Structure 1
Amino acid sequence: MALKVLTEHTARSMKCSIEWNSDTGYEVLEGHFRHVVDLPRQTCSCRAWMLKGIPCPHAIAALHHKRLNPMDYISQWYSRDTYIKTYSYFIQTVLNLKMWPPSTNPTVIPLEVRKMPGRPKTVRRKEASEPK
């Protein structure tokens, strides 16, 4: 999944133009938008790199400009070793509901079901790709 996202971002990064900014690193222009990329801190002003852990198109453009491999900047959470460590332990089952301690919180009562106004539909709406 991470490699698929990285290849999509790499294709988008080819449309970006790069300007050096000595204060924060790089300014990357994508269309009418300007993003600031800081490679040492691994941040971008679009925030996609920090949220996903996969370099965004702006960061990939800056990495290619410095001749660095974007694969080295993918978060360790996407690695095979981390995946194997996650599922290496036995997951304990949850105790039966009857064994739980009683709660002092008020019970949540569901809303009453109301009949919606208007005449009910009798024919199913078909998709555009289905024959009529």
Structure 2
Amino acid sequence: MLLEFIRGTMQQWFYEKRNHANEYPNFVTPWAEEKISSHLSKSACLKVRSITPTQYQVVGFGGFMGIVDFGEMSCTCRKFQLSRIPCKYAIIVARHMRLMNVNAWVHPFFRTDIYRVIYQEPVSPLGNQSDWLHSPEEIVILPPVLDSRRPSHPFNRNRRPL
């Protein structure tokens, strides 16, 4: 019953996600889009200074905030490298460069076309249990052999006999 419940739940999830992915018009997934918009709002008060054509320094109210390097696709905050979604520093640099779209810097895993591929396969019912293939020989799995000694107290031979 538990296995059938889990299968039914996954079937429902995949159906909903598949329909949502097919109807979603944007380039990145809704979750990634939400993250990008959150980073965009957090980057509103930051300023950018150019270092090289691919490196930029981001400065905030408290002074130095971070360095974004688009040649390496990295930022000193490390959120850009870890999440593979542009951090607030990368987004403010993109605005400074007059780029309207930061989707090119989002990892392909967060793209809608990959989102569709992930949920394209249906989760099918298992069918009648009597139709399942059974092994001609039964396999008996025995429980592991337990040691009589407790694992937290190793055997000590240094004691004097009584």
Q: Same fold judged by TM-score > 0.5?
A: yes
- The equivalent of 1:45 in structure 2 is 76
Q: 1:19 aligns with which of 31, 46, 49?
A: 49
Higher relative contact order (CA 8 A, sep 6+): 2
Q: Could you list the runs of 5+ residues in structure 1 that have no partner in the other structure?
A: 110-132
Note the alpha carbon deviations across 1:25-65, whole angstroms, 9 max, x for none: 10102343420100122110101111111100100111111
Other structure's SS at 2:39 match: helix
Percent of residue pairs identical: 24
Greater C-alpha Rg: 2
Q: Could you list the runs of 5+ residues in structure 2 that have no partner in the other structure?
A: 1-30, 127-137, 151-162
Give the whole-Å Cα distance in 2 for the aligned partners of 1:71 and 1:102.
Answer: 54
Asked whether the equivalents of residues 53 and 75 of structure 1 are also in contact (C-alpha less than 8 Å), the reply is yes
Change (3 A) 1:22 1:83: same
Shift of 1:74: 1.6
Structure (1 or 2) with the greater helix fraction: 2
TM-score scaled by length of structure 2:
0.52
Change (3 A) 1:73 1:23: closer
TM-score scaled by length of structure 1:
0.62
- The equivalent of 2:59 in structure 1 is 29
